[in-house]
Every structure is written in C-alpha cells, then in structure tokens.
Homo-oligomer: A and B are copies of this chain.
Amino acid sequence: MVRQARAVRTRQSLVRAAAEVFAAEGYARASLPAISARAGVSTGALHFHFASKDDLAGAVERAAADSVEELAEGCRSGADTLLQSLVHMASSLLLAVVADPVIRAGFRLSGDPSRKNGVQILRWWQVWVHDLVVQAQREGELAQDVSVDAATTVIVAATAGFEVLGAADREWLSVERMTQLWTFVLPRLAAEPIPDPALLLSEIRTAAVDEQAE
C-alpha cells in the first residue's frame, strides 16, 4: 500500500519534471537523464514507469488534456452565459499556461515540429470553442451577422497566437493583453452588450491568485 502510494508519487513527479523540460527545451532536445534528475529519481526508476521519451511525452499530453478538461468544466458551470464561459475559459487556459508546467508542455508539444502524432491540445480546443459557439448561437447569444465558423476561427487562432507569442514574451499572457482581445472581439460577437471584459477578467485574475495562494 505504502509502496503503491510511493510509485504514484514518483510517476507524478516524473510527469511534472518531464513537462518542465519539454516546455523549456522542446521535445527533441529534452533528455531522459535531465528529466529523472529533475524529478529526483534514478534513470532506472524512470524506465520502470516509462518505456521511452515518446511514452513520457504521451503521459504529459494526457495529463495536460485532463487538467484542461477539468478547467473547462469549471468555467462552464461557473458562468451566467455561454459567451462569458468562453471568455472565462480562454483566459483561464492562457493563465494556466503560465502557472502549470503540464498545461504549458501540452501546448508546446502540440506545436512542436519534432513531436508528431501526439494528443493535440489545440485540436481539442478548436472542437470545444466550436461546440460552445454553436450552442451560443442556438441560445441567441451570437450577433446575427457573425458565422459560427468565423467566430471559431478568430478565437482559436487568437488564443493559439497568444500562447506562441507568450513563449518569447510573457507580456502576451497577461490579463491586460487578454482584456484587449475581448474588448475587441465581444462587441462584434455578442447579440447583446456583455459586461465590461476588464471586469470579467479581473474576477478571473482574482480567482487565479486565490488558487495559487491556497
């Protein structure tokens, strides 16, 4: 029982350490010895849990996908309208890229040319945004002259862009930058005026800070 709990902990620290190394170095340059050293375990222990770097990257991608799905559920249940949950989720996701190395690695591996055929977090995000915008249209939240496809394209492209630009310049992952995005997008997207995006996002920032302080 104790041994099993320790094995779970070791596996978790390996996934986290791998995420940090993949996010910083990219898939190709990440080395298994660097990952086991960062996790504070032997390379033997790493190989006990993961057969290969590909296997480890797959585990990081699955962990990132789980975290992101959980985040999405929280954003859906906590918002008054569908478009508010969209703003909430897009912003939470980008703040999570900063705060959570596993989610950051999930994104980085998604766009890494040396990592092919992984779980595509960007593909998941595209489907999530599309489904939400379809539902928003059905509920009458979408402006009449906006198509679901155009709205999905702009939101998915902009958030993917924030992530890639944020890797070189952290300022792109600030609440200020996200407020600029939604101040531009919402008046075009929504059938009715939405509460001030700056206000919406300041609540998200407060929640994120509270969570980190816990």
Give A205 Cβ to nearest chain B Cβ, in Å: 17
**A108 CB-CB contact with B under 8 Å:** yes
* Contact, CB under 8 Å: A113 / B164: no
Contact of A111 among B25, B147, B153, B164 (CB under 8 A): B164
Contacts A158-B157, A165-B160, A177-B153 given; does A184 touch B146 at CB 8 Å = yes
CB <8 Å contact, B168 and A158: no
Contact of A114 among B28, B158, B164 (CB under 8 A): B28
The answer to whether B167 touches A164 (Cβ under 8 A) is no
Interface core residue of A122, A147, A164 (most chain B CB under 10 Å): A164
Contacts of A76 in B (CB 8 A): none
Expressed in whole angstroms, the Cα–Cα distance for A28 and B114 within the complex equals 8
Residues of B within 8 A of A25 (CB): 28, 113-114
Interface residues on A, range: 35 or more
- With a cutoff of 8 Å between Cβ atoms, the chain B residues found around residue A67 in the complex are none
Kindly list the 9 A-B residue pairs having the minimum CB-CB distance in the complex, ordered from nearest: A161-B161, A157-B161, A160-B161, A28-B28, A150-B180, A188-B188, A26-B113, A153-B180, A150-B184
24 contacts between A and B (CB under 8 A): A23-B113, A24-B113, A25-B28, A26-B26, A26-B28, A28-B114, A108-B113, A111-B111, A112-B113, A113-B167, A120-B168, A122-B168, A147-B180, A150-B180, A154-B158, A154-B184, A156-B165, A157-B159, A157-B162, A159-B161, A160-B160, A161-B162, A163-B164, A184-B188
Enumerate chain A interface residues (CB-CB to B < 8 A): 23-26, 28-29, 108, 110-114, 120, 122-123, 126, 145-147, 149-151, 153-154, 156-165, 167-169, 172, 177, 180-181, 183-185, 187-188
